A and B are shown apart, each in its own frame.
Chain A
Amino acid sequence: MENTIISLRNAVVEYDGEQILKSISLDIIDKQFVTLLGPSGCGKTTTLRIIGGFAEMASGELFFNGVNIKNLPPHKRQVNTVFQKYALFPHLNIYENIAFGLRIQKLPEGEIKTRVEEMLELVNMRGYEKRSINSLSGGQQQRIAIARALVNRPKVLLLDEPLGALDLKLRKDMQIELKRMQQDLEITFIYVTHDQEEALTMSDTVVVMRDGMIQQIGTPQDIYNEPKNAFVADFIGESNIIDGIMRRDFLVEFAGREFVCVDKGFEKDELVDVVIRPEDIKVVSQDKGAIVGVVENVVFKGVHYEITVDALGYKWIIQSTMSEEVGSIIGMNVTPEDIHIMHKSEESR
């Protein structure tokens, strides 16, 4: 049984007369790892701040377990936040930083000690109790910030780009650890990031946002395989986005010829965006290719080569394990299942 723990209804946020959030409605399922994903300025952090109680809505409602908490100040909410810049208390040592919330609840000293140590264990920072926070690396500070928020046993943990300042290797490790913590503790994580890979790695549900509006809500697989519009397709990994015309159900015309596809329900001759993932394009010999073009550029990316092909007025991006010679003419094929058709919207282009 899936319970909605947080429900945002028609949230509008204005700043200096400009709408930062344009009537957002969002249900967060209990015990899920939910990621708000989007480019900077899309309103994802503002959404998180509404839930934390640090941003005010011009209009809209916010429910927590069915209770409207719109006017509840931050210190009375059952959520805790891991801030982007850690925001540890510089005058307190690590033990006291983590114990801060418990001391406010006036818990007995023995319980505080047990719970702080439990948290230090959880974030792999045992033995650091007496250290000052200035003696820690960025990654260690981040762990303490997570411990300080989790020690209060919140129902929901809010994380505002918590790994943004860490290097790539550390970030990957922390992604796995955060996911493990979320599963072990069985609480809801709401995670803000602009890194699509991070979102796909950790989330149960991804909320893609843009310009103060939600573009798509779905599982990582949904978002990646069935993007709702060209913006989502482009933001979640690289995509080839080509103008096309939907001739009829299961038949689309683009790049000067007709292709069989698996999409239907469009109007006849509707102008559409055709989205094809770079890894879904097969390189074949010139005579076998549905599309023929000239190799313009080849970049080695480690796992694969990224090949740019000029064909029919578009720059096609292909990911292939085989390199091709620059200047050579190649054929390209794509199967019907890998052709994604999307309505054109003025928002997405």
Chain B
Amino acid sequence: MKVSRTLAIPYVVWVLIFTVVPLGLVIGFAFTNPDGKITLENIFEMSDYMAVLFRSILFAIAATVICLIIAFPAAYIISRANAINQSTLIVLLMVPMWINFLLRTYAWMTLLEQNGVINRILGAIGLGPYQLINNSGAVILGMVYNYLPFMILPLYSVMVKIDQSVIEAAQDLGSNKIRLVRKILLPLSMPGISTGVIAVFVPSVSTFVISRMLGGGTNDLIGDIIEMQFSGNSYNPHLGSAMALVLMIIVLFMMSLFNQFGTEEDVAL
């Protein structure tokens, strides 16, 4: 008992320095003005950005749902492959993650541009050019592309533990494919789904790189606005902190709602 407590000290120190203290600073900035007076005006000023906040949440939900739709069958297929194919597929999934995030997003720019690879290929067969970049679709695509592995990996790690004979038993008892997914795979994958949803939704709702590079300045997200308060012309760390705080509370609220839904699902089934 004592040894394990001693071992916990570095972690406690880490959390204090890099989580508790910064959180205190954010709260402190959010409720003060540049003169150091306590105020709620930063929170009220947020109302100017409600549209951006709403858009951020909407985009993040869209990206999360798309990731889930792609990841669920993908993770299932990987989990049913033989051991060698499983590790190969997982490595292939991880390889893009080892390449710099900015570089990957730049690559999408060269693909989607007006004179980009896709439009040139389409042009060669007499189609286009299409407006593929600087719109909301491109931003959501960027989110899905970058965060998809965060959905596949937790789903895979849950699904790989589902015994093949459980799936066969469900088929044996009369489940077609749809019922197999609804009655067996979905409920048994719930822990992976909730982990994956959080792992995709949280970075999506707060990203600013993807929206800036693929959104063309017309699809700013709350992350862009927050970033501008710290490094842009409209330098205002007090407003930026207030936004970050509000965003955090909204995310926490949504996650707790989702988890509530997830556990209820478990009990009901």
Contacts and interface: CB of A to CB of B under 8 A. Distances in A.
B163 interface: yes
A300 interface: no
Given A89-B166, A92-B269, A104 B172 contact: no
Given A89-B184, A91-B188, A83 B169 contact: yes
Interface in A73-95: 73-75, 79-81, 83-85, 87-92
Contacts of A152: 173-174
B118 interface: no
Most chain B beta carbons < 10 A, residue from A52, A75, A79: A75
A54 B174 contact: no
A105 B169 CA distance: 15
A55 to B, nearest CB: 11
A97 to B, nearest CB: 9
A292 to B, nearest CB: 55
A100 interface: yes
B187 interface: yes
Given A74-B168, A87-B163, A92-B269, A80 B173 contact: yes
Contacts of B169: 81, 83, 87-89, 148
Contacts of A101: 173-174
Interface footprint category on B: 10 to 19
Contacts of B176: 73, 75
B170 A100 contact: yes
B173 A91 contact: no
Interface in B172-189: 172-176, 179, 183-184, 187-188
Contacts of B170: 89, 100
Contacts of B168: 52, 54, 74, 81, 83, 87
A91 B174 contact: no
Nearest to A90: B188
A149 interface: yes
Given A92-B269, A104-B179, A87 B174 contact: no
Contacts of B4: none
Interface string A135-176: 000000000000011001000000000000000000000000
A82 to B, nearest CB: 9
Nearest to B176: A75
A81 B163 CA distance: 15
A101 B163 CA distance: 19
Interface string A84-118: 11011111100000001100110000000000000
Given A87-B163, A87-B165, A74 B188 contact: no
Most chain B beta carbons < 10 A, residue from A85, A89, A92, A105: A89
A83 B173 CA distance: 12
B171 A75 contact: yes
B45 interface: no
A87 B188 CA distance: 13
Given A91-B266, A91-B269, A104-B179, A84 B173 contact: no
Interface footprint category on A: 20 to 34
Nearest to B161: A90
Most chain B beta carbons < 10 A, residue from A53, A74, A81, A105: A74
Interface string A52-77: 11100000000000000000011100
A79 B269 CA distance: 25
A100 B172 CA distance: 11
B174 to A, nearest CB: 4
B172 A81 contact: yes
Nearest to A100: B173
A79 B169 CA distance: 11
A149 B171 CA distance: 12
Contacts of A74: 168, 171-172
A101 B172 CA distance: 9
Contacts of B166: 87-90
Contacts of A80: 172-173
A141 to B, nearest CB: 12
Contacts of B163: 85, 87
A183 to B, nearest CB: 23
Contacts of B187: 91
Contacts of A91: 187-188, 266, 269
Contact of A73 (B171, B179, B188, B269): B171
A344 B175 CA distance: 49
Interface of A: 52-54, 73-75, 79-81, 83-85, 87-92, 100-101, 104-105, 148-149, 152
Given A75-B175, A152-B174, 13 more contacts: A54-B168, A75-B176, A83-B165, A83-B169, A84-B165, A85-B163, A87-B165, A89-B169, A90-B188, A91-B188, A92-B269, A104-B174, A105-B174
8 closest residue pairs by CB, A with B: A87-B165, A101-B173, A87-B169, A104-B174, A74-B171, A83-B165, A81-B172, A91-B187
19 contacts: A53-B171, A73-B171, A73-B176, A74-B168, A74-B172, A75-B176, A81-B169, A85-B165, A87-B165, A87-B166, A88-B166, A88-B169, A89-B166, A90-B166, A90-B188, A100-B170, A100-B183, A152-B173, A152-B174
